[in-house]
Structure 1
Amino acid sequence: MMKSEVALLYVLIIMSKGSAQSMKPRRSVFFSDVNLKLFKEPDFDSLSSVLVREDIGQLFIGARGKIIILSLDDITKQTQQFNWIVTSKDKAQCQTKDKSIEECDNYITLMHTLNDGRILVCGTKAFDPICAHLIFEKGKVTMEDNWENGKGKIPFDPNKNFASLVNGNTLYTAGSINFLGSVEAFQRHGRNSLMTEHISSWLKGPNMISMKFAEISKHSYNNEDDSVFLFLTEIGIENQRNDLRLSRVARVCKSDMGGLKTLQRKWTSFLKAHLDCPFGDEGSTSLVQDVFFLQDEKNVSDSIFYATFSLNPKPSSTCSQSAVCTYKLSDIQQVFRGNFMTETDSGPWVRFTGSYTSPYPRTCINDEMRAKGVRTSRDVLDSDLMFVKNHPLMEQVVTPITGKPLLVGSAAQFSRIVVDKVTSLDGQQHNVMFISNNSGWVQKAVWSDDDGGRIIEELQLFQDPQPIRFLQLSSRSGQLYSTTRTAVVQLSVRDCSRYTSCIDCLIARDPYCGWDRRTGLCAAVAGASKFSMIQNLIDGDVGICPSSHLPKQIIDIHLTLDVAQFLPCTPDTNLPISWNFSGSILEPSPRHILFSQGLILTPSFTDEGLYTCDTVEVVEGREHRKAVIQYNVKILEGEILGRVNWFQGVVVYILGSFCLLCVMLIIYMYWKHKP
């Protein structure tokens, strides 16, 4: 090896030792090796909304000037398309208001399924929002002719963030509501429309992230009203720094009717609290990026919010620290039942120490309140509603279930998250997280009380690094749909083909996968027979695997005495490696430099022997080793090497001459006996 090459390897070693420590995925699968389906068209861009309809097997994609409908089973099959473009007159009028020609298109930014099966779609329409309905009848989707005003439902500006959800036929939205984008509101639309007060103590420079509905009445012992939760970031009113952004969770009650006199057509149940995900440097704040709500069907209070956070909110960042934190619904409810904050005359917000006896809005209306005559928010006293108006902030902070993040990453910034409930062969349920980032990758991760969080694998879904904007999961079919601004990808979350042996299959502890003893393949456990398949998610015990007699790869290599040589070791996983020399663990020394991709060996005569590179994985205190490659090293001195090379040359010359004579003899005999 040249001296310059050895020097480069030394630099790589130093860089690898000095890099930030973070949780590594067990395996990294690059784009060329991921089994996926891709939908992309030359004029398909600015993808701005996605809707999965499992009941009709369709995937709806909202983009600039069009709605594309794809088959949910195979997104490469386009079933329909609606062009919803802006007239030249509307576009010209929009441009007179200092908007660019791109901004003055119609971006389909909202799509929701209503209770009657129709799909509500809204587009920005040259800064003049409009809504319509799609209907699925007789295997075909059509668009109704009657259009609705979309102002206040979606932002005028297609680049503005907003959050929305539909419960039944009721639409809830949170975002900017005017042409300039300077007024932000959290609203309920329809017959009993409500919105937030336009005061900074309610919302101050908010960035709306996500909205979730919790059916609390379903399991409440006192029939407490359902809740709508809004996750956002905003400038903290309780801090001395005027520019410090904090993560928030806000809550309103579903049956809120507004006040009779005070807070007319305004929320009377709006409360908010600081949402904390502690990681990063001391004093830094974490900003929520996305939220997934996994509702517990047995007890809604045990439901969990999974959220991604970042210390750097800029989408263009490629090296910012991120994390995943989880929050129990009952813990959030408890914070909203706590103490209020109040604003002092001098400005700072402090704990409210006065008396406030009304249970509303600490809890939404329940049987106890109804028994006292408070059946709706309009029955709440004006004095209580005035208190609510001036005290939207709670004192207590919402903290994660574990007190810390489940996962922390220091590579590309986490963006979207979805969670799937997976039933293993033993009947246990496991929550599998799929976390996207701003470089086009998705990580598959699980968390358990026993061994904490672990990333099973990371998958490169898009060849070019780009932010993943949407992540949708069809649990029924086991398909994950991921989108950027210009493309859609479909991936089976139950693909177990990357585990090529029983040992790989079991030790990965992928809840989706098990080893099929009949076929000799790693396959999905969903719907499989327990008698033919094995799986061990507790400790990855590979002792139950059938015996394997695969030959080990041994490479004979001759090294020159005292000349450094690089012995590469590149496993198909990201697991740490360990070197074994003639039956003993190889320790670092001046002659043996170990790092993550191989070994630099500067040999002496005592270094002859068998070198084995193993991956090392510890599961529940049990160490698993797997040989990646073996080198049978022999040492030659310079002079001996020269004599050996000379001798080899002579042998090759003699053998070559002998072969040439044989060929000439065969040709001679052929021509001699030719008729």
Structure 2
Amino acid sequence: MLTSWFVFCQINWTVTSKEKAQCKVKGKSIEECDNYIIMMHTLNDGRILVCGTKAFEPTCTHLMFEEGNVTMEDSFQSGRGKVPFDPNQNFASMMNGDTLYTAGSINFRGTVMSFQRHGKNYMRTEPIWSWLNGPKMISINFAEISKHSNNNEDDNVFLFLTELETEAQRSRLRLSRVARVCKSDLGGLRTLQRKWTSFLKARLDCPFGDEGSESLVQDVFFLQDENNVTDSIFYATFTLIPKPSSSCSQSAVCAYKLSDIQQVFRGNFMTFTDSGSWVRYTGTVFSPYPGSCINDEMRAKGVRTSKDLPDVTLLFVRNHPLMEKAVTPITGRPLLVRSTAQFSRIVVDKVTSLDGQQHIIMLIGNNSGWLQKVVWSDNDGGRIIEELQLFQDPQPIRFLQLSSRSGQLYSATRTAVAQLSVRDCSRYTSCDDCLIARDPYCGWDHLRGLCAAVAGASNSSMIQNLIDGDVEICPSFNLSKQITDIHLTVDVAQFLPCSPDTNLPVSWRFSGNILEPGPRHILLSQGLVLTPSSTDEGLYTCETVEVVKGREHRKAVIQYNVKMEVSEGGVNWIQAIVTYILASVCVVCVVIIIYVCWKQKTQNHVGSTSVSDASHEKPKIKAGSCNQENHTN
């Protein structure tokens, strides 16, 4: 049974016992024979097109949502050719107006793959290996090129996928690709009838990890530039499939400019030789340029639609879908590289700060149910400002969608859904914390005395510093730090605990000076073991330390006013021995607690960290090494 929720309503679209029995006869399991929603898109008339696998008999219908009530049409249509039979098959879809684009398997066995446009002007890929070679479909995106084109070039539709390498014969290496077709492509008049005449593809490069490892695209988010569409950026998550000899397990985010992708598709073609290899094509290139989208220059020469293209051009496109050059990321390297759980989904938001500047925030889901919130800038690179555990069970985040207007993020796994506000600033409890985090969503409201979302706020009541997190602009409050009086005995060890709210590193000061570790001062992440002498009387301060763009920010967590006591008869050695043993046991317990916490990773929030500054030199590749996470501030 499949259940879809809208507000407080639900619709049950079930599989009958007869349908399930017929599905099992075909050799499928009970779980596979349920009805899984594969696709949902809103149409121009307000209805929602919904398609499910329905016991390996793909079916589509429409939902209506009016005045808080959801109803489902009584009529159903076959979904064959639109969505896969198998719920486990990779699939991508996009709705442009009322025109549906899909990419996935179209037969029962899942062996025939196609990239299609449905409707009156139906189009599909040519079913030959040089076009699609064992593909896994990732994402379809629409770019409104005509809106800012000087020669009224047709709009573009991009397909991101992975496929088996075609450049080398009998290769089992899987590569990331980006393919492009033209929105108004109508196929050829005689050649490539109802087939794309503009289908071109190129390798998508995201260089990280061991040489020879497979860097495979997992998800793509298209952030369209409102002023010039060619400046728009595709943000893509990648995971590294290491060589058998390597233990590397890394993920990355790479970004690609639309104009750079267009340039690759205007470049040289590859051609298949009699020897079974692909080489650069050096022969005559026909006019109009094969695979080009219709523009004013082509219209002036009588080519108003793809049906006006000569057969010789169409035959060339059919046999030469692969471009020579790869599409490289805008920085030449990833924006972010991590050796933790694999990235799965990504959404990107463009946030305007109080000073009117725009900032890029990437929200990245992984295969363990966690979300990473990353701020990207040319100066700092990728700076992780928060990690959240959205789901307790370690399973991949399969769906991630952001409402920029409301600031709500929606995510889902196979078994659970979650909603959260990306503008929640309540975790920053002081002005110092609020500014040091340099979260573009947040600023310090000095009238209310709290960290709050800057969206819609008045500049007169809010302060924000995203350049270096300088806290000197914070209001001055004469709040004394917590001071604890403690009486110690000479040469008797004592544990002074320090537990900050964040996981930032801590340091200790003694009478205003930095305390260095030594025989009498054992510095731990959760406190200080002090074995005092007669000169160790004074004020001990535990501080968190964060360095932002070379500026050191210190915040007192707790202070101890240590006073020395000496008994009249000298030191009570029995008491000293007992105290020493207790202190030692305390230290061991603290170490065990730290180790257990580290192993379980129970902490849901992390401090601001800069990772992989992609504006500088390319990462060095070391065989068998996963250490490519460059931390800068």
State the TM bucket, normalised to the shorter chain: 0.7 to 0.9
Going from structure 1 to structure 2, the CA distance change for 1:604 and 1:284 (only over 3 Å counts) comes to: farther
Q: CA–CA distance in 2 between the matches of 1:137 and 1:105?
A: 28
Ranked by relative contact order (alpha carbons within 8 Å, sequence separation 6 or more), the top structure is: 1
Q: 2:392 aligns with which of 463, 488, 495?
A: 463
Residue in structure 1 matched with residue 109 of structure 2 by the alignment:
180
Going from structure 1 to structure 2, the CA distance change for 1:195 and 1:497 (only over 3 Å counts) comes to: same
Q: 2:334 aligns with which of 396, 401, 405?
A: 405
Going from structure 1 to structure 2, the CA distance change for 1:474 and 1:643 (only over 3 Å counts) comes to: same
1:19-42 Cα distance to aligned partner (Å, 9 max, x none): xxxxxxxxxxxxxxxxxxxxxxxx
Residue in structure 1 matched with residue 298 of structure 2 by the alignment:
369
- The letter for the 2-side match of 1:254 is K
Q: CA–CA distance in 2 between the matches of 1:241 and 1:442?
A: 39
Q: CA–CA distance in 2 between the matches of 1:283 and 1:546?
A: 54
Q: CA–CA distance in 1 between the matches of 2:324 and 2:271?
A: 9
Residue 286 of structure 1 aligns to a residue whose secondary structure is strand
Going from structure 1 to structure 2, the CA distance change for 1:174 and 1:533 (only over 3 Å counts) comes to: same
Q: Report whether the alignment pairs 1:620 with 2:549.
A: yes
Residue in structure 1 matched with residue 130 of structure 2 by the alignment:
201
Deviates more, 1:631-640 or 1:134-143: 631-640
- The letter for the 2-side match of 1:68 is W
Q: CA–CA distance in 2 between the matches of 1:549 and 1:463?
A: 41
Q: 1:145 aligns with which of 74, 86, 102?
A: 74
Going from structure 1 to structure 2, the CA distance change for 1:597 and 1:328 (only over 3 Å counts) comes to: farther
Give, in angstroms, the shift of residue 419 of structure 1. Answer: 1.3
Q: CA–CA distance in 1 between the matches of 2:493 and 2:335?
A: 43
Q: CA–CA distance in 2 between the matches of 1:174 and 1:601?
A: 66
Q: For 1:310-349, list aligned pairs within 5 A.
A: 310-312=239-241, 320-349=249-278
Contact 1:287-1:313 within 8 A present in 2 as well:
no
Q: 2:12 aligns with which of 71, 83, 105?
A: 83
Give, in angstroms, the shift of residue 601 of structure 1. Answer: 5.7
Going from structure 1 to structure 2, the CA distance change for 1:313 and 1:135 (only over 3 Å counts) comes to: farther
Going from structure 1 to structure 2, the CA distance change for 1:477 and 1:590 (only over 3 Å counts) comes to: same
Residue in structure 1 matched with residue 443 of structure 2 by the alignment:
514
Going from structure 1 to structure 2, the CA distance change for 1:564 and 1:128 (only over 3 Å counts) comes to: farther
- The letter for the 2-side match of 1:347 is G
1:539-568 Cα distance to aligned partner (Å, 9 max, x none): 212111111223223445667877877655
Q: Report whether the alignment pairs 1:65 with 2:11.
A: no
Q: CA–CA distance in 1 between the matches of 2:261 and 2:500?
A: 44
Residue in structure 2 matched with residue 530 of structure 1 by the alignment:
459
Q: CA–CA distance in 2 between the matches of 1:211 and 1:187?
A: 11
Contact 1:338-1:362 within 8 A present in 2 as well:
no
- The letter for the 2-side match of 1:346 is S
Q: 2:357 aligns with which of 428, 451, 461?
A: 428
Residue 640 of structure 1 aligns to a residue whose secondary structure is coil
Residue in structure 1 matched with residue 64 of structure 2 by the alignment:
135
Give, in angstroms, the shift of residue 596 of structure 1. Answer: 4.8
- The letter for the 1-side match of 2:293 is C
Contact 1:319-1:412 within 8 A present in 2 as well:
no
Residue 103 of structure 2 aligns to a residue whose secondary structure is strand
Give, in angstroms, the shift of residue 227 of structure 1. Answer: 0.7
1:485-537 Cα distance to aligned partner (Å, 9 max, x none): 22221111111111111111111111111111111111111111111111111
Contact 1:234-1:246 within 8 A present in 2 as well:
yes
Contact 2:242-2:248 within 8 A present in 1 as well:
no
1:199-258 Cα distance to aligned partner (Å, 9 max, x none): 111111111111111111111111111111111111111246711111111111111111
- The letter for the 2-side match of 1:584 is N
Q: CA–CA distance in 2 between the matches of 1:233 and 1:204?
A: 9
1:70-100 Cα distance to aligned partner (Å, 9 max, x none): 2xxxxxxx1x211111111111111001101
* Gap runs ≥5 in structure 1: 1-63, 71-77, 649-675
Contact 2:490-2:566 within 8 A present in 1 as well:
yes
Residue in structure 2 matched with residue 24 of structure 1 by the alignment:
none
Residue in structure 1 matched with residue 180 of structure 2 by the alignment:
251
Give, in angstroms, the shift of residue 138 of structure 1. Answer: 4.7
Q: For 1:480-519, list aligned pairs within 5 A.
A: 480-519=409-448
Q: CA–CA distance in 2 between the matches of 1:126 and 1:193?
A: 26
Contact 1:319-1:413 within 8 A present in 2 as well:
no
Q: For 1:439-454, list aligned pairs within 5 A.
A: 439-454=368-383
Q: CA–CA distance in 2 between the matches of 1:483 and 1:566?
A: 45
Q: How many pairs were matched up? A: 574
Contact 2:214-2:242 within 8 A present in 1 as well:
no
Give, in angstroms, the shift of residue 484 of structure 1. Answer: 1.6
Deviates more, 1:435-444 or 1:159-168: 435-444
Residue in structure 2 matched with residue 640 of structure 1 by the alignment:
571
Going from structure 1 to structure 2, the CA distance change for 1:245 and 1:606 (only over 3 Å counts) comes to: farther
Residue 311 of structure 1 aligns to a residue whose secondary structure is strand
- The letter for the 2-side match of 1:383 is V
Deviates more, 1:349-358 or 1:215-224: 349-358
* Gap runs ≥5 in structure 2: 580-633
Q: For 1:20-39, list aligned pairs within 5 A.
A: none
Residue in structure 2 matched with residue 385 of structure 1 by the alignment:
314
Residue in structure 2 matched with residue 167 of structure 1 by the alignment:
96
Going from structure 1 to structure 2, the CA distance change for 1:158 and 1:561 (only over 3 Å counts) comes to: farther
Q: CA–CA distance in 2 between the matches of 1:589 and 1:241?
A: 63
Contact 1:499-1:505 within 8 A present in 2 as well:
yes
Residue 103 of structure 1 aligns to a residue whose secondary structure is coil
Give, in angstroms, the shift of residue 589 of structure 1. Answer: 4.9
Q: 1:98 aligns with which of 27, 31, 43?
A: 27
Q: Report whether the alignment pairs 1:109 with 2:38.
A: yes
Q: TM-score, normalised by structure 2?
A: 0.85
Aligned-pair identity in percent equals 77
Q: Report whether the alignment pairs 1:275 with 2:212.
A: no
Q: 1:214 aligns with which of 143, 148, 172?
A: 143
Q: CA–CA distance in 2 between the matches of 1:564 and 1:207?
A: 62
Taking only aligned residues, the RMSD between alpha carbons, in angstroms, comes to 2.7
Residue 387 of structure 1 aligns to a residue whose secondary structure is helix
Going from structure 1 to structure 2, the CA distance change for 1:193 and 1:506 (only over 3 Å counts) comes to: same
- The letter for the 2-side match of 1:101 is I
Contact 1:319-1:411 within 8 A present in 2 as well:
no
Give, in angstroms, the shift of residue 611 of structure 1. Answer: 3.9
Contact 2:213-2:242 within 8 A present in 1 as well:
no
Q: CA–CA distance in 1 between the matches of 2:265 and 2:531?
A: 65
- The letter for the 2-side match of 1:543 is E
Residue 425 of structure 1 aligns to a residue whose secondary structure is coil
- The letter for the 1-side match of 2:481 is K
Going from structure 1 to structure 2, the CA distance change for 1:608 and 1:307 (only over 3 Å counts) comes to: farther
- Structure 1 or 2, whichever has the larger Rg, is 1
Contact 1:162-1:208 within 8 A present in 2 as well:
yes
1:276-299 Cα distance to aligned partner (Å, 9 max, x none): 111122332311111111111111
Q: CA–CA distance in 2 between the matches of 1:320 and 1:588?
A: 36
